[in-house]
Structure 1
């Protein structure tokens, strides 16, 4: 803009100067006043005008060049700007990529933090469950010791359990004390009065009669329906049918009682300061299980004689149920033993102890697997060694019952040999208890004259000859002599020991004992569950612990799958316990089929839970097994399934706890 202005000025000056010079020249040339002489100023003035005109043209050229340079500069600047903008766009793209990457990293961080929190939650849950499981085991052991101590005290005071009514009272009193409750009730599922309610068999701490308590019955019914612990801090009163006893209840816990894995009743404890929330479900269930065991053991025990007579009978029946080939064997041995004792003039008390020791001499086989006991062929050396454990097992069994303790040594040593080469202690001669020497001869004779899948029976004469042949080596020669004389004078027939039958038909015992109901529980000693014929909970935990030790040494995992029947309580309520038992058996059969396919071990975990242990099973395989089991029992009772596998540092209990936590 300034260049144009200066250009106009230059042009104006130049034109003006030029015109003046021309005018002056014309004046001079044509006779104007100044034409007479030469005026250099005019010439200079004209030259100056010419120079001004030339300057103008030069300045105009310079301005044009400047404009061209400016235009080129603008173009270069525009190109540079465009280039810079392109570079800036690239930088922006890079920044955008970095931001996207940053956002992705933030999202990944959030995801990882979420996963970490979830894993920490899982670990915390696992630690919690493990601690609770440990607490439950410790509580179970402690309560078991207290219950056993209480039972032993009753034995010492009463000579046995005395009045069977004392046992429920003792169980309720001890449970109430262990939980710190003020009041308690013990209800039985028997419903002898057929009123549809559980029967009240013991009560502690109530001022008013709780026989018809609506609150207690409501919670007991919920326990039956849901098959689980029920707790409530402030139970609401039932408007219809409430009783004065209901007003005494401030808080309560209702615990199911299981007797050999079958529902037997409910313990209700009430009024604990702070409520019952501090106790884990497993802890309370273990208390219910222990209470059930004591109730089972003591339900029908009365006077000492009736108690251990019935105990002998049920243990014998249990053994025969486990091994059909032993059916009648113990009674047959007892008959021979009684005859020998009579010939030898054994005094009455010792004779009675000898008689019952002979009835229980093989009771330890309760703890031997049916797969060995019922094997149709000869046993392997390893299986033989397992069978040889039965005297020790039987010894420990009878030692748990004070009334049977005098028989323990006869049971422990009935497989000793007179020459010292027997088992379990290698005693010889008269080191062997007198009772054991008699049982040994009678047992051998009964076994020889019995049919077995892997051999034919021996005749009575042949068996007597065999006894005489081994007198002095395997058998006490004097016992053999008396025994053979008795057998040859009175050949064995089908008669049973009349004295034992008379005792077992004691009217007092029969009045106390329901048809087909055993007197003393033995389920905790057996390796198989009576209902499902699967291995027991004890065997499950032993197997898991053994697998964990193997996994630790070999680095090869094992898996556990737990199956829980979800509607068994409802089935028991609506269709009866027989229907519930059938549902459990149906699931057990499906579980057994899967176990057979993978070479695993199927067990009864307890109550409504079953379990499968598989060697070499990792987490993924365990999940597939859970799906396979669910498919195998599809169409049957509804179930929930959980699985877990061994991880380094786990014990067997940890794997079982995780499988239980995974039930969904």
Structure 2
């Protein structure tokens, strides 16, 4: 066989692959293209999803910012509400305490001053007036840190504001930049913030409360509280007026009882008044409360009222008393107690009257009380009563010289008498005995507290001179 020549096409290897070899490759290419397409689509979806998530995240970030802003706003509002609640609670407590104080003031005669201080307390104002509309015109009845005194007439500006409040029955609110329309403040009356409210008595305005110079504006709640004080103040003033009328009736009763005793026992004439005068001064030396002073004064005036129930023959017997007669005389403290305790306002006086013959060492009567167990009014009156009895002439003895009576008090201090009471009573005696004629001390009369007069009815002249 003839060898094949180089380059002979008939005998060369084919340059293309067989169909069987091409099919797997094409399949792989097609699969790769399909996979690429799938991956590209997945990538596009993921990109879209990512963009959507980014947009959602942005929305969430914005929403979170809004929520944080709302949260901060709510937190601030809650804090403000809590602060306002605390202020309202404090204002309510101050108003309640002030109203209670106003009513307690009825018993110490300082109602107007307490009304004003209550008003300043609930509004946090620095100064103020209480102006009363009285029969003879307007008068200042209380003042705090203002250039005026109790009893003065108000300035033209204050009087004009008060008249506007009284005529309208409404509050008037102004400040240094905007005074009440048509009114011109005087020197020193350009208050930073000011409000004036009416005080109603018997259905109509009778006075005006001025709350002046407050840091910041008066809140509506503060003005409402001030109006409440004004309304309650009217009740307090009405009660004070009624109490004054009742007190006059009580004092008339006291005067009648004391006069009855003087008519029965001539040796007691003037004795109770003198005892009450000394007792009042002694109570003031001790700085007792107004109520304790009242009890001491009235006890001194009525300490022997129980002698109404003791026989004249025993009371005025010129010689020594037998034991049975002494028991009758000692019974006067129990009789006096039974008489006085029937008057509600004199219950404390009745108790002090019952014990004014107790001894400091516990050997007195009727109950053998000792030391501080004896009411303070009883201890004062016990000393004063003994001194006045010693310097007076009685049916059974002559009057002692004051020096001897004073010596007896000192000798019996610690046994019959409280040593502290002996000390203050001797000072009271010095004040009265050393007072110049016409002085207030010399004119204390029966010793009833200032501003109250004891009625003294006219007595008919004696039938036999």
TM over 0.5: no
Query: Normalised by the size of structure 2, how large is the TM-score?
Result: 0.43
Query: Normalised by the size of structure 1, how large is the TM-score?
Result: 0.30
Asked which structure has the greater CA Rg, the reply is 1
